[in-house]
Structure 1
Amino acid sequence: MKSYILNYKEVPITYYTNQNKDKETLLFLHAAFSSSKAFEEQFEYFKDNYNIILIDMPGHGETGPNKKRINFKSIEDIIHQILKQENVSSVHIIGVSLGSLVAQSFAYKYPDKVSSVVVIGGYSIHKDYQKVLKEQKKEQRRWMPAMLFSFNNKFKKNVVTQAAYTQEGIDKFLQSMSDFKFSTFMTMDGANSFFVDVQTPVRYPTLVMYGEHENEIALEAGKTFEAKEPNAEVVYVEGAGHCINLDQNDKFNIILGDWLKKHSEI
């Protein structure tokens, strides 16, 4: 994958693209603590039929932490500027975990730029999200000692075992978070700004994917999509945990590819 740079307020943001600009664009957004390396196999699978963009979000991958305090409060604008730099008018935006929240937030702020949204292991940022946020805060408190005193060992072990179910998925997630640093936590500020109550259904087609070994809170969130988003299709994938694309790469690519064919111009 060839990397490119967006100079955003004097901070270099790294992204990757195959420059297949006569095709529709797929934009992939990674999970927290991960990077675009998590989508290497998706890049190879879809690159001939789509224009692919992978972004290392602030504090992650090659983008890394920065002294300008560019964080997730700016992520929607960063995506918008990358699309402008690449002369891309609209995208199918695919996000895993934290990336799925960013995807929905971008679709809310720039609805004319989004053809569809794919949510992997995530939950709605518009409806019934309070319980999930409460549970996440509890989880963060449990992580705090490991973050402070055993960052490179216990903390990473906790993260990867929750992110993936199979040994292959765990190994891939570890590889994708190889550039993650303790200072990255400072750049993750701003994620709470994603949440906006919207009672009307979202206008864009939405594919929501959960692994069968996902945690109960996430699986419960899937019921919200099924009940309150008529434009959403919810799929459960056997043999996968949180990051389905890492645990069950082939199944993930086939499900995503088939769904895109129904919502693409190709």
Structure 2
Amino acid sequence: MTDAGRPKRNSGQQTRPGGRLVDIELDHLPPELRWREWMGRVEAVIFAASAPVPRDILARVVGKGCNLDLIIDDIRAELAGRPYELVAVAGGWQHRTKRAFADAIRAASVVDGDVRPLSQSEALTLMCIAYFQPITRSELSAFFGKEVSRDLIATLRAQDFIASGPRAPQPGAPYTYVTTKTFLSEFGFETLQDLPDFAALEDAGLLSKERLLAGDLPVGLVSREDDDEDDASGATVVQVR
């Protein structure tokens, strides 16, 4: 491990996260030890966080010339043989166990037992919101040909998968619904651009409105507890603490 090719640093930079003085440039250390210290700090911050950590937060603990993408790459390389990994999700980075260990984790009963899998109706509604947001409850009801209940919407809100969006330009200015960062995190997406391409699925004959209404969800939007087909969605990942 060397610092060769890494961007130059500005010396003497310090910051005060949490009111404590922290040396971020580490100019007193040789390049290799400086890089290792930055790696340790970044991994420690991500490990201690309960949610994905964005770039601007990680930048508080490393030098101004430090390339965070290279730091992340080096951390990922060191975790290659471990049962957990560093993933980009919901606009940040997070430690998560690898999908191959999902069954072992369930068998050991270390996953929160009060997490209920989404019902088919909830999963379908969430999928439609994800693809067509911002969307109103009446628009969702029209799509499914039956009323989407307030209770169903409340269930998705209670799990922080959706939130109120802008009011729609319709009579009464009803609220629309949009997905949240929790949705991205739970289903393993970094951004909404990672959703399976809806048009491509239709063109390939893998999805149609009829199949959608029948409960045939695109890969990537399945229930968090219903992925026995070997981790198709990335949903069954457990954060390492």
Coarse TM-score class (shorter-chain normalised): under 0.3
More strand by share: 1
**Which of structures 1 and 2 has the bigger CA Rg?**
2
TM-score, normalising length: structure 1? 0.25
More helix by share: 1
